[in-house]
A and B are shown apart, each in its own frame.
Chain A
């Protein structure tokens, strides 16, 4: 079955720096890749997603890139702010799957 690896597990940056989180997946049939942000004590919230017919997608300070050949995708956050501090999860899904497969999460800390 599908397996999603996420790195790093923790990431500390200074306010204003960029943060990059990377994920790799194993199932070449996967064609949907969402990213979630989870604040302490809350459910994960979708922040951006990308489908396999697109190589890059951007939404203000957040961007996601996808390399289907290498089977990896990345989340890029520019001009980080303290409120970006949270746990970020990547996931992968495909037509044959029954649910999204999640990475183990990255704890991002942005210090001012």
Chain B
């Protein structure tokens, strides 16, 4: 069966510090991968998606970036965090074939920028 992992689970960072969140998927190959952000009490905002290694599409201009160094690894980064970057970050995957298909979400990372 497929499993999606995210770490860390929680993170408190000062404004201006760098960020690296990691997501890995097990049990599948060539998945579509996604990063979402969810502000407190708000809906899901798609940040990035990837259909393959090194292929990243950005949905929202911001100070965040994403990379996919391996087939089942997706990384969200920032060089300098802003207060507005606080939120709940969710990684998700779906099967590449048979679009549109279900997206399966990871457990999330709670980021607080102080």
Contact = CB atoms under 8 A, between A and B. Distances in A.
Interface of A: 31-32, 34, 36, 41-46, 49, 89, 91, 93-95, 97-100, 102-105
B103 A100 contact: yes
Interface residues of B, number: 22
B43 A31 contact: no
6 contacts: A44-B44, A45-B105, A99-B103, A102-B43, A102-B44, A104-B43
Interface majority SS (helix, strand, loop, mixed), chain A: loop
Interface majority SS (helix, strand, loop, mixed), chain B: loop
Contacts of A99: 32, 34, 46, 49, 59, 103
B68 to A, nearest CB: 15
A42 B34 contact: no
Contact of B57 (A42, A98, A102): A98
Interface string B93-112: 00000011111111110100
Of the listed residues A43, A45, A93, A102, the one surrounded by the most CB atoms of chain B closer than 10 A to its CB is: A43
Given A99-B46, A104-B43, A31 B100 contact: yes
B100 A93 contact: yes
Given A41-B110, A42-B107, A32 B101 contact: yes
Nearest to A36: B105
B49 A44 contact: no
Contact of A105 (B43, B49, B90): B43
B105 A98 contact: no
Nearest to A104: B43
Nearest to B46: A99
Contacts of A41: 108, 110
Contacts of A34: 102-103
Contacts of B101: 32, 93
Contacts of A103: 43
